[in-house]
Amino acid sequence: MFALPTFDRPTAATERQTTRMKRPLSHPQALEALLRPETALEKLLINTPEFHHGLLWGEPRFGHPEGKVAYHIREVFENIDRIPEISRFDRGRLRLIALIHDTFKFAEDRSRPRDWSKHHGILARQFFEHFTDDQLMLDIIETHDDAYYAWLGTRHEQFMLENSHKSIDYLLDRIGPDLQLYYLFFKCDTQTGDKTQAPLHWFETNVTGIEVVRIREV
């Protein structure tokens, strides 16, 4: 359990942030107003103390000028709403993945050499296993950064030599026939903040078995 700190919207926010995202998160109902939970499970997660703490973690940084995890999730939610012809079921799954994927960054082990078992994706999966037995959702939560790492390995050979479990072949074997949902989340997650789009372009160009969709211009 964590004592909940008080956070305000950073002044370095990008122009792309909407007016509702500028509300100070110190207000008791601010997170619900920002994230607008659509189900009882989403509301329960947002109001779980440890999860709530994770939503308030973060300072403006490269890739995440919005700072707090909650603001990033709001952007991912907006991208999900732009996906053409998505089923209600898959939209709900993507929202839950978005809500959970980065929320345990505050607990991640950032020491070197890296302990991948303490990556925030694995911590998030372990948390969400108490709420679902949907293995695809759990796998996407755990591996949501692995497409980026696979791209990174194409640029830095030493990284891939030391982290062969982050290769694109390993990821494709892990996700299997459900690659489209993984891709949709990867795109919704990547087209936020000021993230480089090179990993996404590489994925769309080199990975077969996906239907490329347009979500937003970046």
pTM of the model as a whole: 0.88
Where in the chain are the domains? 27-206
Question: Taking all residues of the chain, what is their mean pLDDT, rounded to a whole number?
Answer: 89
Give the per-residue pLDDT at 204: 98
Cα–Cα distance, 215 to 27 (Å, whole number): 32
Question: Predicted confidence band at 114 (pLDDT cuts at 50, 70, 90)?
Answer: confident
- On the question of pLDDT at 161 being above 60, the answer is yes
What integer is the mean pLDDT of 33-57? 95
Cα–Cα distance, 148 to 202 (Å, whole number): 9
- On the question of pLDDT at 203 being above 50, the answer is yes
Cα–Cα distance, 133 to 140 (Å, whole number): 13
What integer is the mean pLDDT of 55-61? 92
CA torsion through residues 157, 202, 65, 123, sign: negative
What integer is the mean pLDDT of 79-107? 97
- Class (C level, CATH) for 27-206: mainly alpha
Give the per-residue pLDDT at 147: 98
- On the question of pLDDT at 20 being above 50, the answer is no
Cα–Cα distance, 52 to 155 (Å, whole number): 36
What integer is the mean pLDDT of 36-60? 95
Peptide bond into 24 cis (omega under 30): no
Give the per-residue pLDDT at 121: 97
Q: Are 49 and 1 in contact (CB under 8 A)?
A: yes
